[in-house]
Amino acid sequence: MTKDECKKVVLAIISDIAPDEDLSNVKPDVRLRDQLQLDSMDFLDIVMELRKRHSIEVPEADYMQLASLDSCAEYLTPKFNALAGKS
Amino acid sequence: MLSRIVITGVGLASPNGNNLTEFRANLLAGMAGIERVDMRYMGPVLAGMCHYDPLRYQKKKELRVGTRAGSISIYCAREALADSGVNFDAMSKDRVGIYIGSTEHGTVETENEIFAISKFNYDVKFWSHYHNPRTVANNPAGEASLHLGSTGPAYCIGAACAAGNMGLIHAAQMLRLGEVDFAICGGVSESTQSFGIFAGFKSQGALATHDDPKKASRPFDRARNGIVVSEGGCLYTLERLDDALARGAKIHAEIAGYCVNSDATDYVLPNPVRQAECVRRAIAHAGFTPRDMHIVNTHATATPLGDIQECEALRAVFGEGCPDTHINNTKSYIGHAMGAAGALELAGNLPSFTDLVVHPTINVDDLDPACALPGLVLNHPKKVARVDVILNNSFGMLGINSALIVKRFVP
């Protein structure tokens, strides 16, 4: 998985969590909370959906890594690839 | 001197109407709103489902995070506020009380979570972090408070199927105590989302069955065979009369009196002696006699025993000597809306103050002689000479009884 593909996966989750938001112009380097109506419970939803849909675990200590699309891609892409390598 | 309390707005979602005009039209047209739905673990069951548009007032995210009862509360609250004509944005939100009766809350959400984690081998790390805010007992009122930005007291009143009346009674009390200046109150139910409620009634031998869903809820009919579970809600705006008059509000009715008591007899079986006592006390509280009641809405849910026992209670209160008293039932159209039942059923009769028509109890093809009360209005609307007072009965499990009386507003 590339980082761009990883961002698409994260955006797909956010589109379900925040269905009223326009995600067509999300800036990858800006904190998600600064450009979308997302609260702490929504970030827990992102963590839960990563777990449910992709078997990816994000420990609480790493929640900050989900701040922006860029940081999500940096943090999650290796995890996706590690999982793909196992299968 | 107690403040006079008046109803100034009505908002509702019922299986046969999404506002009072639709609801009333269908009650007069004999249109039931029961359908067959597929229930988890059970297959097809009969239920009263609401078909209001939740996106009329809520965002998709609110619906995803919140509960069905919360959504119904928000819809009904916004409809009631619109009907009241009040400028809600200009009100002191800390002086608004939201009091919502509910039969239960949290059953639906817990069942859904257990079902969800069953797909993950019951691993609780997949249990939703929304479970607790969704299941707290104040959820329906709390969601309405969040949505409206209302910062006064907002909570639910758990009173089984007597709860719809209880929302109004509690609101009237709080207005009279001066705890709030404006109340949004009534009852809601999301019970159709819970297989457990259906299965519980089925195990109890009290779940209605019928080939024709619209004929399934049939209080007082000899062939009645149980309850049709429904969802819905009805919220009112209540104000002290002086406040309502000062803003030139339309007044639907005045709260005349009420009573709440308990059977202290049985978990599920009603006690006609205590029910009669509740009705008598409500009538006395309102300063009336039984002869002054023009419409009596029965609680009757179409269980074989429960209907007879309520009739026994009403016979004890009204006897044969109340020629102007007309008795009806709304569950025959919409099933049993649980915590919303009392509030919805009152709303169905309110227009009688204006049109002088008593809507009937439908689906009575063969009246059970044990339910043959004088004044029972069956199958066809009845035009009457006077409707000045309505008695609304709602009774619930664990023996809670509520009777609410409203009267035509006369300045």
Q: Which helix (H) or strand (E) holds B353?
A: helix B352-355
Reading phi first (left if > 0) and then psi (alpha if -120 to 50, else beta), residue B326 is in beta
CA distance B47 to B49: 6
Residues A17 and A38: their CA atoms lie apart, in Å, by 9
A41, B60: Cβ pair inside 8 Å?
no
Distance CA B220, CA B218 (A): 6
The reported pLDDT for the residue numbered A87 is 59
For the segment B222-257, what is each residue's pLDDT rounded down to a tens digit? 999 999 999 999 999 999 999 999 999 999 999 999
Query: What pLDDT is stored for residue B2 in this prediction?
Result: 86
Residues of chain A contacting B, Cβ within 8 Å: 16-20, 37, 41, 44-45, 48, 51-52
The one-letter amino acid at B258 = Y
pLDDT digits (tens, 9 = 90+) for B338-348: 999 999 999 99
Cβ distance B116 to B128 under 8 Å? yes
Q: How many residues does chain B have?
A: 411
Per-residue pLDDT, B351: 98
Q: pLDDT by residue (tens digit) across B135-187?
A: 999 999 999 999 999 999 999 999 999 999 999 999 999 999 999 999 999 99
B119-131 pLDDT, tens digit each: 999 999 999 999 9
User: Residues A67-86: pLDDT tens digits?
Assistant: 999 999 999 999 999 998 87
Nearest-angstrom CA–CA distance, B186 and B188: 7
B380 Cβ neighbours under 8 A, 6+ residues apart = B30, B360
Among chain A residues, the shortest Cα distance to B63 is held by A19
Which of A20, A41, A52 lies closest to B129 in CB terms? A41
Per-residue pLDDT tens for A7-44?
999 999 999 999 999 999 999 999 999 999 999 999 99
Helix ranges (DSSP H) in B30-179: 60-65, 68-84, 107-118, 131-135, 139-148, 163-177
Does the beta carbon of B383 lie under 8 angstroms from any beta carbon of chain A?
Answer: no
Q: Are B263 and B401 in contact (CB under 8 A)?
A: yes
Which of these, B337, B315, B328, lies nearest to B376 by C-alpha position?
B328
Cα–Cα dist B408/B201, whole Å:
37
Rounded CA separation B208/B224 (Å): 8
Structural contact between residues B181 and B243, judged by C-beta atoms closer than 8 angstroms: yes
Query: Of how many residues is chain A composed?
Result: 87
Contacts of A51 in chain B (CB under 8 A): 125-126
Q: Which of residues 65-84 of B touch A (CB under 8 A)?
A: 65
Torsion of CA B59, B62, B68, B71, to 10 degrees: -60
* Across B391-399, average pLDDT: 97
Q: Which residues of B are known to be catalytic? A: 161, 299, 336
Percentage, residues of chain B above pLDDT 70: 100
- Coil vs helix vs strand at A2: coil
Question: Is residue B90 over pLDDT 70?
Answer: yes
pLDDT of residue A85: 82
Report how far residue B321's alpha carbon sits from residue B30's, in angstroms, rounded to the nearest whole number.
29
Report how far apart, in Å, the C-alpha atoms of B234 and of each of A26, B100, B395 are: 41, 9, 17
- Secondary structure (DSSP) of B154-218: EEEEE-GGGHHHHHHHHHHHHHHHTS-SEEEEEEEE-GGG-HHHHHHHHHTT-B---SSGGGS--
Contacts of A15 in chain B (CB under 8 A): none
Residue B358 has pLDDT above 90, yes or no: yes
Contact status, residue B5 vs residue B13, Cβ threshold 8 Å: no
CA B136 to chain CA centroid, Å, is 21
Cβ pair B130:A41 closer than 8 A: yes
The whole-number pLDDT of residue B185 equals: 98
Helical (H) or strand (E) element with A14:
helix A3-17
pLDDT tens per residue, range B1-14:
789 999 999 999 99
Beta bridge partners of B9: B237
What is the share, in percent, of chain B residues with pLDDT greater than 90?
Answer: 99
Report pLDDT digits (tens) over B16-62: 999 999 999 999 999 999 999 999 999 999 999 999 999 999 999 99
- B219, B329 in Cβ contact below 8 A? yes
Residue B382 vs residues B29, B291, B343, B391: alpha-carbon distances, Å: 12, 18, 22, 17
CA separation for the pair B243, B258 (Å, rounded) = 22
Q: Is B409 touching A (CB cutoff 8 A)? A: no
Q: Are A18 and B61 in contact (CB < 8 Å)?
A: yes
